[in-house]
Amino acid sequence: MEAKIKAFMDEVIARNGHEPEFIQAVQEVAETVIPYIVQHDIYHGKNILLRMVEPERLISFRVAWVDDEGEIHVNRGYRIQMNSAIGPYKGGLRFHPTVNASVLKFLAFEQVFKNSLTTLPMGGGKGGSDFDPKGKSDDEVMRFCHAFMTELCRHIGPNTDVPAGDIGVGSREIGFLFGMYKKIRNEFTGVLTGKGRSWGGSLIRPEATGYGTVYFADSMLKTRNQSFEGKDVVISGSGNVAQFAAEKVLQLGGKVLTLSDSGGYIYDKDGIDTEKLAFVMDLKNNKRGRISEYVDKYPSAEFHKGETPWNVKCDVALPCATQNELDGDDAVVLIKNGCIAVAEGANMPSTPEAIHAFHDAQILFAPGKASNAGGVATSGLEMSQNSLRISWTREEVDERLKGIMADIHNACIEYGKEENGYCNYVKGANIAGFVKVADAMLAQGVI
Ligand SMILES: NC(=O)C1=CN([C@@H]2O[C@H](COP(=O)(O)OP(=O)(O)OC[C@H]3O[C@@H](n4cnc5c(N)ncnc54)[C@H](O)[C@@H]3O)[C@@H](O)[C@H]2O)C=CC1
Ligand SMILES: O=C(O)CCC(=O)C(=O)O
């Protein structure tokens, strides 16, 4: 088996060797899915995984825009249309200086499996730009978004490809993007998700990724007769996913000890309660400030410059910032400190070494493609509401989200439970996600 996986990875590396994040994401899937393919005749010998690692289409384009001083800037825009076997391409847009083809291909590849896990009819895609919204005025962000959409609009549509937000793309950016799409195409459709409530957005979409991550973690804890009640929880990030993960942890009786951004992390030993979280939401979403400002408001908290929060003792860890933010050494510290569960709110925040350490210690570990799937699942619900031209209540959407997260958990158990009873959620998520897409690809022939 090792030889088969190596031969496959050699071929992937030969074509994509300069794309480390993409190789990392493919390696993880290959290790779990190739053994399954070999044991199942219908998939064996069809090169399905080799077809799945090649994007159906990779679009790269120039985005030129003018800043407030009249200076002209050029950024690079992308859309990776990875796999449309089970539905239109679906996945977020990331605006961050680290964006490149490798990062977006890893995200698009993961998205294919994640979207399949939701059980909704969505293919996988991802896009974005190396544009950095940090420090830009609202007008500059608007001009950039408009320029970006003047090209992207040729490649997307409600039945073709439906982007949404990700790092650096929130409700402000989705508004600007939607406005330009509507103007150019002269149509009001559900071409983007994460829209505002009054123009086609779904209730619960802003909360969905964070809430879903905590629902998934709660299901994992229940397998060991545990819950969030009274648990110490360490969270990284302070953006959309982190904020609503923290909110749901508080609602379930847990204590949130940390939040972070790229400048460092804050540790509040008294816990970040609802009022303090409201301060963080205003700081991040309206004032667009830094997390270090938390200690000016709450001086009993500590700010740790340039560090990640994984050395803070906790029961549950929720990495909700970015890829590869939790490495093997961090994992060892978490385990030594008694952490019993890790659920990824971010995409691929744990390095392969960290995942191996969690598995070796047999603690509960949920990969992002399972635990953070609530965001895109609720985007799928937004698409359904747009098509039907109706809107469901908050309770209706939340109930559906809970149901979807429970189903994903069950699928992971079905495909990931090992002989000693331990659930390898990575294996479970990869195989469950693969089967649905592979079946559709087989039915549609070699295309
Ligand atoms: N927004 C969504 O619905 C979904 C987001 N995700 C993933 O969740 C993660 C966070 O995304 P959002 O909260 O939406 O973005 P956001 O832009 O709202 O927040 C990103 C957060 O990560 C922090 N961050 C970014 N780079 C960092 C670095 N190098 N070191 C430390 N912190 C860093 C930022 O300071 C911020 O707190 C990403 O991995 C994203 O792909 C996954 C599923 C859905
Ligand atoms: O809601 C969406 O389509 C975007 C979700 C996303 O980008 C993700 O799951 O990583």
pLDDT tens for the 447 residues of the chain, in order: 999 999 999 999 999 989 999 999 999 999 999 999 999 999 999 999 999 999 999 999 999 999 999 999 999 999 999 999 999 999 999 999 999 999 999 999 999 999 999 999 999 999 999 999 999 999 999 999 999 999 999 999 999 999 999 999 999 999 999 999 999 999 999 999 999 999 999 999 999 999 999 999 999 999 999 999 999 999 999 999 999 999 999 999 999 999 999 999 999 999 999 999 999 999 999 999 999 999 999 999 999 999 999 999 999 999 999 999 999 999 999 999 999 999 999 999 999 999 999 999 999 999 999 999 999 999 999 999 999 999 999 999 999 999 999 999 999 999 999 999 999 999 999 999 999 999 999 999 999
254 occurs within a structural domain: yes
Q: Are 264 and 281 in contact (CB under 8 A)?
A: no
How distant is the alpha carbon of residue 307 from its chain centre? 22
* Judgement on whether residues 69 and 103 belong to the same structural domain of the protein: yes
Would you state the pLDDT for residue 17?
Answer: 86
Q: Are 236 and 349 in contact (CB under 8 A)?
A: yes
Write the CATH number for 294.
Answer: 3.40.50.720
Burial of 2 per CB tally in 10 Å (0-12, 13-18, 19+)? exposed
Measuring from each residue's beta carbon to the nearest atom of ligand 1, which residues come in under 6 Å? 165-168, 170, 209, 237-242, 260-262, 320-322, 325, 345-347, 372, 375
269 occurs within a structural domain: yes
Atom of ligand 2 nearest to the CA of 166: 7
Q: Is 386 in the pocket of ligand 2 (CB under 6 A)?
A: no
* Judgement on whether residues 215 and 166 belong to the same structural domain of the protein: no
Write the CATH number for 96.
Answer: 3.40.50.10860
Residue 352: which domain range? 206-362
Q: Is 240 annotated as a binding residue?
A: yes
* Judgement on whether residues 211 and 358 belong to the same structural domain of the protein: yes
4 occurs within a structural domain: no
* Judgement on whether residues 234 and 273 belong to the same structural domain of the protein: yes
Report which of 143, 190, 162, 154 is spatially closest to residue 84, judged by C-alpha positions: 162
> Rounded to 5, what percent of the chain is helix, strand, coil?
50, 15, 35
Atom of ligand 1 nearest to the CA of 238: 37
Give the number of domains in the chain. Answer: 2
- The single-letter DSSP state of residue 166 is B
The CA-based diameter of the chain, rounded to the nearest angstrom, is 65
State both tokens at 446. Answer: 């070699």
- Domain stop point among 304, 336, 362: 362
Atom of ligand 2 nearest to the CA of 115: 9
Q: Is 347 annotated as a binding residue?
A: no
Active site residues: 126
* Judgement on whether residues 147 and 267 belong to the same structural domain of the protein: no
Q: How close is the Cα of 308 to the center of ligand 1, in Å?
A: 14
* Judgement on whether residues 102 and 247 belong to the same structural domain of the protein: no
**Adjacent-strand bridge partners of 63:** 75
Q: Residue 308: helix, strand or coil by DSSP?
A: coil
Q: Is 96 in the pocket of ligand 2 (CB under 6 A)?
A: no
Q: How close is the Cα of 43 to the center of ligand 1, in Å?
A: 35
* Judgement on whether residues 237 and 307 belong to the same structural domain of the protein: yes
**Adjacent-strand bridge partners of 265:** 260, 304
Q: Residue 273: helix, strand or coil by DSSP?
A: coil
